Amino acid sequence: MKEARVQVKVPLVPRPDMQEPEENIVTGVEKDKLAPVNLRAVPSQPAKCSSPEGKSTDKLDRQAAEHIHIPVIELDQFRRVKRRRMRTFGRKRRWGRNPTKWQPAAAVSALLAMALLIPVILVWPRESDSVKSTPVRADANITRTPAPAPAVPVTYPEPKVRVYLSATGTTMNLPLEDYVTGVVAAEMPAEFRLEALKAQAIAARTFIVRRLAASDTSGVPSGAADVTDTVSHQVFIPPDQVKSEWTRLGKAKEWEKLQQAVRESRDAVMTYQGKAITASFFSTSNGYTENAEDVWGNAVPYLQSVDSPWDKSLAPGFKQTVTMKRSEILQKLNLDAIPVTAQKDGSWMEVLSTTKGHRIKEMQIAGETFNGPEVRKLLGLRSSQFSWKAVGDEVQITTYGYGHGVGMSQWGANGMAQEGHTATQILKHYYTGISFGQASKMLASK
């Protein structure tokens, strides 16, 4: 849009008694172009003034008008003057006037700024990445989900055991743990280590739980009880009787240790494939335990032969010798007489084979064949590993170990306990591949 130009007429009125030459007036106009000019409004009608002499002012007005020049000052000139003043006061020229000088530097600066900002933007935390915690007023009406209660172990009622007391012919009904206490007191010496007593308690408990789970009353007169108190099942002494007897003998500490063993092994049983095992045990091994099939004819996966070297050095009855007459041996084996041929060479007793547990598997006596456990039972020997020597009409038989040899050796368990083994380690050594379960749980659904 083109600027409008305004012409302003500024009258310059000289004093009445003063006249300027014409060239001075022109020079004054040029000076006004360089200096600031104060513009005043000039009335359209000339002012009238009176002179002291009383002369008429009309004449004076005409004379003054002849010497007055009205210069025309354009606004464009004022703009140029303003720019000169701005340069005079040091205002610098903007560098945008010459873009070719600063644009390369600006581009490099922009690239550097972007190189610095991009990594910052990438790692800058976002609102979704942070977890904002909102304080909750204590008195706010907020529906809260209750914290889950700690798991409470499920408890089952303690099973009961009916024991047939062979001495009186009566039946005693008592809790399972009391029955185990009476069995451990009767089956294992109280002087044994605590871990050995705990292993015995678990074995005794497992034995009766298996019978209870199967409702097995075999070997009990009239089937009115679960088990007897004899070696046919497990030897048992009523706990009250044990406590009074041991207290009288000054064995109060042994009684406390026995109770501790039962308490610390409470409700634990040995299992195989989820069922209670046949937890057979015996007193003393000959250095090895037996396979179940070599003694009872049936293979049992967890009743396998293992080493038991502790018995030889610990058990007082590890080796024992008994003397029998030849006629007594024949009588107990239900033999008539010794064949003549056997009498001549002296080989009327001969071992045919042995077991993995180094016991006699088969032997021949007076021409008849017997297995080792059978001879042990008929002759009343302590073990099926034995040797003999004939002296005249007598035979000296020496046995090694004590018991049938299947399962846990009690003296071997005590030897392991003396070496620092736990009850669990003892049982896992003598019973191959077993696990552990809870007696009351196994019998709860029965």
Rg of the chain over CA atoms, in angstroms?
63
Q: Is the pLDDT of residue 287 over 70?
A: yes
pLDDT attached to residue 209: 97
Q: Partners of 388 in the beta sheet?
A: 397
Token pair listed for 348: 């009327």
Average pLDDT over residues 213-234: 92
Of all residues in the chain, what percent carry a pLDDT higher than 70?
67
pLDDT attached to residue 83: 52
- Name which of 6-20, 36-50, 163-177, 269-283 the model is least confident about: 36-50
Q: Is the pLDDT of residue 48 over 90?
A: no
- Name which of 84-93, 118-127, 317-326 the model is least confident about: 84-93
More confident residue, 414 or 64: 414
Q: Is the pLDDT of residue 330 over 60?
A: yes
pLDDT attached to residue 45: 46
Amino acid at 181: T
Q: Is the pLDDT of residue 57 over 70?
A: no
Q: Is the pLDDT of residue 52 over 50?
A: no
Average pLDDT over residues 20-44: 42
Of all residues in the chain, what percent carry a pLDDT higher than 90?
58
Average pLDDT over residues 170-190: 96
**Residue appearing with tokens 């044994």:** 192
Contact between 390 and 280 (Cβ < 8 Å): no
Average pLDDT over residues 57-77: 50
Alpha helices (runs of H) in 17-155, residue ranges in sequence order:
22-34, 57-66, 75-88, 99-123
Q: Give residue 338's pLDDT band: very low, low, confident or very high (50, 70, 90).
A: confident
Closest alpha carbon to 311 in 239, 382, 213: 382
State how far the Cα of 315 lies from the Cα of 402, in Å rounded to an integer: 9
- Name which of 49-53, 106-110, 285-289 the model is least confident about: 49-53
Q: Is the pLDDT of residue 94 over 80?
A: no
CB-based burial label for 403 (10 Å; 0-12, 13-18, 19+): buried
Average pLDDT over residues 337-363: 81
Closest alpha carbon to 76 in 165, 14, 8, 158: 8
State how far the Cα of 29 lies from the Cα of 80, in Å rounded to an integer: 16
pLDDT attached to residue 113: 77
Average pLDDT over residues 40-54: 43
DSSP labels for 218-263? Answer: TTSGGG-SSEESSTTS-----HHHHHHHHHHTT-HHHHHHHHHHHH
pLDDT attached to residue 53: 44
Q: Is the pLDDT of residue 93 over 70?
A: no
Distance of CA 39 to the CA centre of its chain: 98
